[in-house]
Structure 1
Amino acid sequence: MSQLPIPQHFQPDRVGEIWRVPYQDLAIAARSWAQQHQLRPTAAGNAKVRLLLIDVQNTFCLPDFELFVGGRSGRGAIEDNVRLCEFIYRNLGEIDQIIATMDTHHLHQIFHPIFWIDENGEHPTPAVTTISPADVAARKWRVNPDFGTEQSQLQAYALHYVKQLSDGGKYPLLIWPYHAMLGGIGHALVPAIEEAIFFHGIARTSQASFSIKGDRTLTENYSALAPEVFTNQLGETIASKNDRLIELLLDSDKLIIAGQAQSHCVAWTVNDLLTEIQAIDPKLARKVYLLADCTSPVVIPGVVDYTDRAEAAYQRFADAGMNIVKSTADRDFL
């Protein structure tokens, strides 16, 4: 099937805005679109082409929100999502299912300011404070006692946690601004992306899948497939892999991946997926396609720039057999 035109309802100049998706009107338009372009329900075919969208949420994708991923251009996530929406619409007939992960947080989590205090009872400044094993051992930062949990055990866990990050080659514990808060507007999908997912679901009679990540109190979850740390200082399990999502992704005939941020949640998810693939059959990496122009790295001007790390990760994935492609390139991979 050749690429489809972009439906008239899509407005690229509104991708950086918030609005209510008009579901019923969109459903009618999608059914008409499916008939006009002879799109078949996904159940009528045998192929399993899946599109994995990682954390395409307001909190990461809109400039007025907490953790906008601007990349070096300053408009990274907006430009990425314009291309991503166009990719979905042009390839409605080829994409069988869309899977969206959603970073999901509560107030009291180990990477939020309120979890920690210094000797003066002050919380760490988000986006600029990292907490190292030395900081915790010296009690420069300690667990906030006001939550009433067992302090000695939680403090021991905190030291265990940052050591696990350091020993495992993970990013150090960065205190993030409150973001992707469950129940808040920042947690929601970007309206333009939500609209495209809904339109695809109606046009192809395909149920999208949504996967929550990051809601564990005592660990970060950059990856959609696994937490940063699995056990506490006593060896007890505090979080586990998302086996259901792993199985769904590995079951794909072709798996296309996009989302935010390239340097963090996207890279960590792909890395964990590659680990699963290599444990089964390294050749399975060939069925994974990373949309390089639909993701951007974290860049905080004057503070940190993860672009080089993101590009190094993508090169490592390519070396392992995964395909680095552009959404606007010839569609020879679909």
Structure 2
Amino acid sequence: MTQATQLPIPEHFDAKKVGEVWRVPYLERAAGAKKWAKQHDIAPAATDKTRICLLAIDVQNTFCIPDFELFVAGRSGTGAVDDNLRLCEFIYRNLGRITAIAPTMDTHTAMQIFHPFFWIDKEGNNPPPLTQISIEDVEQGKWKVNPAVAHSIAGGNEVWLQKYAHHYVKTLNLDSKYPLTVWPYHAILGGISHALVSALEEAMFFHNHVRHSQTQFEVKGGNPLTENYSVLRPEVLEDHEGRAIAQKNTPLIDQLLAFDAVIIAGQAKSHCVAWTIEDLLTDIQERDPSLARKIYLLSDCTSPVVVPDVVDFTEAADAAFQRFADAGMNIVQSTEAIAAWPGISL
């Protein structure tokens, strides 16, 4: 293929199944990918002169399939499904241009600081999902660490864990981040909610074989002591005694910035997507602000968290994307030809 040409969508892609969970027929797709590469004269990714990475943030069942735990509906009510339909088509149309795909995987277990089991009230009840825990709640004893988690999380040291929990909530408050939110159990390691959306798994697997480019999975969120909205940095890095509990993902930042272009899509625009971009921008501004020009945000492949009559992060997400654009990043649409994007030389 010529670099100016967009590819057709392969016949195996079924747009009606993007919002469903199903098994990818790996051997069939691998064989089809080999034929597809030959038919369209697609060279291996190692030969790319302009190296482009797609960072697909948390395109997992838990966020993207209706009726799963944290489906990102956006204001339309079908946000993540519509986004993933466009993202699948974008991948297929640009198989010959996307050098690498790096999906992030939100990865949790039951006993984590943002799950109900971690906290109890004076009667021993766990907080319901979407409860927000403030520093005042902890200091006044409205919520405290469930002693039952101390054995697994802190080697049985309940006193240390209670002090850490106070420190954690206080740190979030001082850093002007969202207050600690108790999320529904989601993206549980080993469970179906943790898996990639089937249609996107299929598209990435197909890309893997067409381009001879290994999909690079980036796991985040497994630390029980901190939230990890951004794949690049956990929310809290030290405990109340100043000891490190987590670290910034500097190797991934270095890898991303070594590409000629980085395309970012995924869920949710108001949370994991926005905070990943924010962390990337922070590093860019420390290194070389002009690097922001190589970041491309697929604005039609991401949606904000919206819970009708409860919370709507649409305006906050849009404001964040405007800040990113003001800093030099590019806001683009998946339907636009990559060759037409500013700064792209194919």
Q: TM-score range by the shorter chain?
A: over 0.9
Deviation at 1:47, TM superposition (A): 2.3
Deviation at 1:329, TM superposition (A): 2.1
Match of 2:238 in 1: 231
CA separation in 2, counterparts of 1:45 and 1:151? 54
Contact 2:52 2:262 in 1 (8 A): yes
Deviation at 1:122, TM superposition (A): 0.2
Runs of 4+ in structure 1 over 3 Å off: none
Deviation at 1:46, TM superposition (A): 2.9
TM-score normalised over the length of structure 2: 0.95
Deviation at 1:235, TM superposition (A): 0.4
Amino acid at match of 1:257: I
Q: Deviations over 1:140-180 (max 9, x none)?
A: 10000123432222111111111111111111101000000
Match of 1:137 in 2: 139
CA separation in 1, counterparts of 2:181 and 2:20? 28
The answer to whether residue 62 in structure 2 is matched with residue 65 in structure 1 is: no
Flag structure 2 segments of 5+ consecutive residues without an equivalent: none
Residue of 88, 95, 101 corresponding to 1:92:
95
Match of 1:320 in 2: 327
Residue of 148, 154, 160 corresponding to 1:146:
148
Contact 2:6 2:337 in 1 (8 A): no
CA separation in 1, counterparts of 2:194 and 2:333? 27
Match of 2:275 in 1: 268
Q: Deviations over 1:243-301 (max 9, x none)?
A: 22111111110000000000000000000000111111000000000000000000111
Amino acid at match of 2:138: V
Match of 2:49 in 1: 46
Correspondence 1:186-265 to 2 at 5 A: 186-265=193-272
The answer to whether residue 37 in structure 2 is matched with residue 34 in structure 1 is: yes
Match of 1:124 in 2: 127
Residue of 19, 23, 29 corresponding to 1:20:
23
CA separation in 2, counterparts of 1:154 and 1:87? 46
- State the identity %: 61
CA separation in 1, counterparts of 2:148 and 2:203? 44
Match of 1:103 in 2: 106
Flag structure 1 segments of 5+ consecutive residues without an equivalent: none
Deviation at 1:324, TM superposition (A): 0.4
Paired positions, count: 333
CA separation in 1, counterparts of 2:76 and 2:267? 15
CA separation in 1, counterparts of 2:77 and 2:255? 34
Match of 2:192 in 1: 185
CA separation in 2, counterparts of 1:330 and 1:44? 21
What is the CA RMSD across the aligned residues, in angstroms?
Answer: 0.8
Match of 1:112 in 2: 115
Match of 1:287 in 2: 294
Match of 1:306 in 2: 313
Deviation at 1:321, TM superposition (A): 0.2
Deviation at 1:328, TM superposition (A): 0.9
CA separation in 2, counterparts of 1:330 and 1:216? 39
CA separation in 2, counterparts of 1:274 and 1:137? 35
CA separation in 2, counterparts of 1:51 and 1:145? 42
TM-score normalised over the length of structure 1: 0.98
Q: Secondary structure at the residue paired with 1:315?
A: helix
CA separation in 1, counterparts of 2:176 and 2:278? 13
